[in-house]
Structure 1
Amino acid sequence: MSNQLTTFDFNALPVRVVEREGEPWFVAADVCKALGYALRANGTVNVNNIRTVVSDEETITCQTGKTGRPSLCISESGLYKLVMRSDKPEARAFQDWVTKVVLPAIRKDGGYVMGEEKAVTGEMFKEELILHLIGANASRRMDMTTGWLKRYTL
C-alpha cells in the first residue's frame, strides 16, 4: 500500500498529511504542535490524551519519514475534533485557518490551494496565483490518472 506524504506549512510549523486510499491522515504530533498542545520530551504525542478526543476508528499508524518509526495519524474527522476541542490561545490561529480558509476553500473548489488566502487579501501577485492554480490542477490530473491506471493495470 502506497502512502503519499505532503507537508503543509502553518505559521512555520510543518503539518504532514499522509494520503492513504484517497483519504488524508494528519500526523497527530504536527497537529498537536500547531494547536499548542504539550508533547513528550522526544517530540511524540501522548496517545492516551489523543484517544480521549479521537476514537480508535479515527487513528492509524503511518510511516512518515526516513527513520522508519511509525507516527500516529488522525483522520480528517479526528482533526476537526482536535481543532474544535482546543481552547488554548495558541490554537486560535490554527482554528481560524481551518475554519475560515481551508474548509471554505474545500466547499467552494473541492480542495485547498496552498497560499490561496494571500490571493484574497491581495498579498499574492496574479502570476503567482496562476502558477499555484496550474500546479494544483496538474497535481489533481496526475492523481486522477494514477488512480485510473491502478484500476486497469492488474
Structure 2
Amino acid sequence: MSGLANFAFEEHLVRVVERDGEPWFAGKDVCRCLEIEKHHQALDSLDGDERGTCTVGTPSGHQTMVVISEPGVYRLVFRSRKPAAERFKRWLAHEVIPAIRRTGRYETTPAAIVDTEAPLMAKVAAVRLALRLFGRDNARALWHRLELPAMDAPASDAEAGARNAAACLDHLLAARIEDGLTIRAAIGAGVPERDALFSAGLGIVGPRTREEGFQLFVPNQHPALSRHFSGTPWADGRWNAALAGGRFAWTRRTMRIPGGSKRGIGIDLAAIAET
C-alpha cells in the first residue's frame, strides 16, 4: 500500500491510498462527502472485500483508519438520494478513475497533493470564512492563492436554469399531436399542419416589437400538456416556469385558442429551429 494523498472534493478532504494499483478511499471522508451521518453503520454494511484498514501518519501520530474500495464507494453513492452523491460520483468518474485508466495507478499533479490533513483543512477553513464574510469572488481568489486543488466550478443558477429549460423544450417538441405528428414537425411544416398545434393548446403568434420574432405560444395550463408532462419534473404546470428560464423565451403573453383566452409564454421559433 502506497502513501497517503489528500484531495479536495468541494470543501471536504478526501484521503486516498493505493493498494495493488487501485485507489482506496478513507471511509469516513467518503461518508462526510455523501452527508452520511452514521458513518460507522454505513461502512459496516459493506462486504468484506469492499472495506479494509490502513495505518497513516497524522500530526498526532500514527492512526488506523477504515478505507473502502472503488466498488464500496459506489455502493454508498447509489444508496444515497442526496444531490451530493451525484456530484461525488461525477468527481470520481471525471477525475479519479480516468487517472487510473491512463496510468494504471492513481497519480495526481503536485499541486493537488497536500502532505498532511491539518494544513489542507486549515486552508479550506480560511476559504469558508472568506466566503461567509466577503462573498464568493473573494473566496475563489483566496482558494487559488492558497494553491488548493483545482476543481470544476459549479454551474450558476442561470446555467442550471438554461439547461432545465432546454430539456423541458425538447420534451415538449417531442410530443405527438394529430396523426402522430410531433410538435417540432408541425412547427416546421406549412400552415395547415400548424393548425394541429391548437389540439395541444399551442399556437404560432407574431412579434409585438422589432426585437421579437414569431413565437410558439405555450399556455400555463392545458389538459393535453398536463398529460404529456405527467411524471416529469415539469408536471402540474411547472413547464411554464422552466421554459421561462431559457434564453429562447420572450415575455409572457395572452392568446385566444379554442376554449378561450389563455395566458402563457412565447418561445422564439428561430431558436427552436436551431435545437
**What TM-score do the two structures reach when normalised by structure 2?**
0.34
In the TM superposition, 1:4-153 aligns within 5 A as 4-39=3-38, 45-46=39-40, 48-52=41-45, 54-66=46-58, 67-104=61-98, 106-107=100-101, 109-110=102-103, 113=108
User: Which of the pair has more CA radius of gyration?
Assistant: 2
Shift of 1:116: 7.7
In structure 1, what is the Cα distance between the partners aligned to 2:98 and 2:21? 20
Give the aligned residue type for 1:23.
Answer: E
Contact residue 43 and residue 51 of structure 2 kept, 8 A: no
Corresponding residue SS for 1:64? strand
Identity percentage of aligned residues: 38
Shift of residue 94, structure 1, vs aligned partner: 1.2
Residues paired across the two proteins, number = 109
Closer/same/farther in 2, CA of residues 84 and 112 from structure 1, 3 Å limit: farther
Q: 1:38 is aligned with what amino acid?
A: E
Change (3 A) 1:24 1:100: closer
How far residue 69 of structure 1 moved from its aligned partner, in angstroms, is 2.6
Shift of 1:21: 3.5
The one-letter amino acid of 2:72's match is G
Structure 1 unaligned regions, length at least 5: 40-44, 119-154
Task: Please say if residues 35 and 91 of structure 1, whose CA atoms lie closer than 8 Å, have aligned partners that are also in contact.
Answer: yes
Structure 1 Cα separation of the partners of residues 13 and 68 of structure 2: 16
Deviating more after overlay: 66-75 vs 26-35? 66-75
Contact 2:99 2:107 in 1 (8 A): yes
Task: Give the deviation of 1:65 after TM superposition.
Answer: 3.0
Could you say what the CA RMSD is over the residues aligned between the two structures, in angstroms? Answer: 2.7
Residue deviations 1:32-64, cap 9 Å, x none? Answer: 11111114xxxxx31x32232x20111111112
- Corresponding position of 1:151: none
User: For structure 2, which runs of at least 5 residues remain unmatched after alignment?
Assistant: 113-148, 153-275
Query: 2:76 is matched by which residue type in structure 1?
Result: L
Residues 1:99 and 1:3: Cα distance change in structure 2 (over 3 Å): closer
TM-score (norm 1): 0.57
- What is the CA–CA distance in structure 2 between the aligned matches of 1:9 and 1:83, rounded to whole Å? 17
Query: How big is the shift at 1:101?
Result: 4.4
Q: Distance in 2 between matches of 1:31 and 1:102?
A: 14
The structure with higher relative contact order (CA 8 Å, sep 6+) is: 1
Could you tell me which residue of structure 2 aligns to residue 148 of structure 1? none
